[in-house]
Amino acid sequence: MGFEGPLNAILSGACASTGVIAKLGLDDHLDSFIGKSLSFVLVVLLNIAMMTLFARGLAQCSSAVEPALLNTAANLVLTGVFGSIVFSESLDALWILGSLLILVGGYMVISENKSQENKLD
């Protein structure tokens, strides 16, 4: 197994985190029907890409835990970053600490899963 499975899971989380497009499409500042329609189509396409990448990640990883954790971690972290960039939301120290704990916890679970697989081989 290479990096394809984990990479697909992370890209899936990145697609999921672009929900900011849905928020912008439903915002009152976007008055035109064409703009709202394009936003809707883009959200649907990103959701299709997310599910496709996640399914590939599941198929390419040795366990379902790895892509699920990578997808969730990427989604949570990137959603916060996109919210900060697009909506000027503040990312305080507690948010950064929480994100780091999510990433470290995911790494611990994945590395424990890998060490158990190596023991079985």
pLDDT of residue 75: 93
pTM (2 decimals)? Answer: 0.82
Residues 6 or more apart whose Cβ sits within 8 Å of residue 73: 13, 102, 103, 106
How many structural domains is the chain composed of?
Answer: 1
Q: What is the pLDDT of residue 53?
A: 96
Domain containing 23 equals 4-120
Give the pLDDT confidence score for residue 2 in this predicted structure. 66
pLDDT reported for residue 93: 94
What residue ranges in the chain does DSSP mark as E strands? Answer: none
**CB 77 within 8 Å of CB 104:** no
Q: Give the pLDDT of the chain (121 residues) as one tens digit per residue.
A: 467 888 999 999 999 988 888 887 777 776 788 888 888 899 999 999 999 999 999 999 888 888 999 999 999 999 999 989 988 989 999 999 999 999 898 888 888 766 766 666 6
Q: What is the pLDDT of residue 113?
A: 67
For residue range 67-87, list pLDDT tens digits in order: 999 999 999 999 999 989 988
Which spans in the chain are helix H? 4-16, 20-26, 33-60, 65-87, 93-120
